[in-house]
Amino acid sequence: MIAVCNSYEGELPLLISVPHDGCHVPKELQARMTKVGLTVPDTDWHVAELYDFARELGASMQVANYSRYVVDLNRSASDDVLYPGQLVTGLCPEQTFSGEDIYSAGGVTAQEKAERIVKYWQPYHARIDTALVAMRAKHGYALLWDAHSIPSAVPRLFDGDLPELNIGTNDGRSCAAPIERAVVTAARASGYSVAVNQRFKGGYITRHYGSPDNGVHAIQLEIAQRTYMDEATTVFDAEKARRLRAALSQLLQALLEAARDRA
């Protein structure tokens, strides 16, 4: 069996979580999936590769190996709605973002969902929890950066094209205000278009683990995929990525410096 995730432990109080870059689907599920579902089109393509520089900074990383179609690690185990009134993609999606069926017959039963939670969801979140506890014990605080990307236009989810950098802190509840300001300032200085707590306020990971009063500051960054790849082919664009990595490095440095100042 493929590991639920690949992890790397750095020396800084910073964990970068990449929950949607995984493409693996167990064979028993592949047999039930449609041709579209098997191509896992809603993957956060190349996000782990984008952040490969973070190890040199000293950050820890945790990268999921399984597709979000197996289980969405950025949803709660109880499958609560993140954005009331908007399209619900769910803990175990049955349709793609574009509305196409993922399964050729039937969907995901309650028993299957419970099994996937135990097998895939819980181990990923146990690792996050362990890492954050260790960072707080060592440094007095912990930083969680939840790294995502998405096509620039997904009509079923939002109108028009997304801004390039979409920062979410659950309306300021998952991160102390001075730390959020530092990251937003760095983002706006990057030359990319920026949105803060608009369409993407942070998913379950940001909302659940972010607890400034307890020394854990969590931020989600949703990147529009046009900034680093060809969206039609999903091919990685090294030149675009070079510029974006420089901006991401500045955002992470701003995060670390603001957290040190606050501590």
- Determine the Cα–Cα distance for residues 230 and 151; give it in Å rounded to an integer: 10
Looking only at the bridges linking them, the beta strands covering 165-168 and 14-18 are: unpaired
Per the listing, tokens 């030359």 go with 191
What is the model's pLDDT at position 1?
74
Residue 85 pLDDT: 59
User: For position 185, what pLDDT does the model report?
Assistant: 98
Contact call for residues 148 and 44 (beta carbons, < 8 A) = yes
What integer pLDDT is reported at residue 187 of this predicted model?
98
Quote the strand ranges of the chain, DSSP E.
5-8, 14-18, 60-64, 142-150, 165-168, 194-196, 216-224, 229-230, 235-236
pLDDT of residue 158: 83
CA–CA gap between residue 212 and residue 61 (Å, rounded)? 21
Please count the other Cβ atoms lying within 10 Å of the Cβ belonging to residue 251: 22
**Given this model, what pLDDT does residue 250 score?**
97
The number of angstroms, rounded, from the C-alpha of 95 to the middle of its chain's C-alpha atoms is 19
pLDDT for the residue 80: 75
Beta bridge partners of 217: 143
Q: How many CA atoms lie within 13 A of 172 on its CB side?
A: 4
> Which pLDDT score is estimated for 261?
92
Q: Which of 144, 159, 150, 145 is nearest to 222 (CA)?
A: 150
Q: Splitting the chain (263 residues) into consecutive groups of 10 residues, what average pLDDT does each group show?
A: 93 98 96 96 97 95 98 92 67 93 90 97 98 97 98 88 97 98 98 96 96 97 98 97 98 97 86
Q: How far apart are CA 98 and CA 96, in angstroms?
A: 5
Domains recognised in the chain with CATH numbers: 5-25+43-64+110-262 (3.40.630.40)
Question: What is this structure's pTM?
Answer: 0.95
| 124 Cβ contact list (under 8 Å, min separation 6) | 4, 5, 19, 62, 64, 73
Q: How many angstroms separate the CA atoms of 100 and 77, rounded?
A: 24
Task: Report d(CA 245, CA 240) in Å as an integer.
Answer: 9
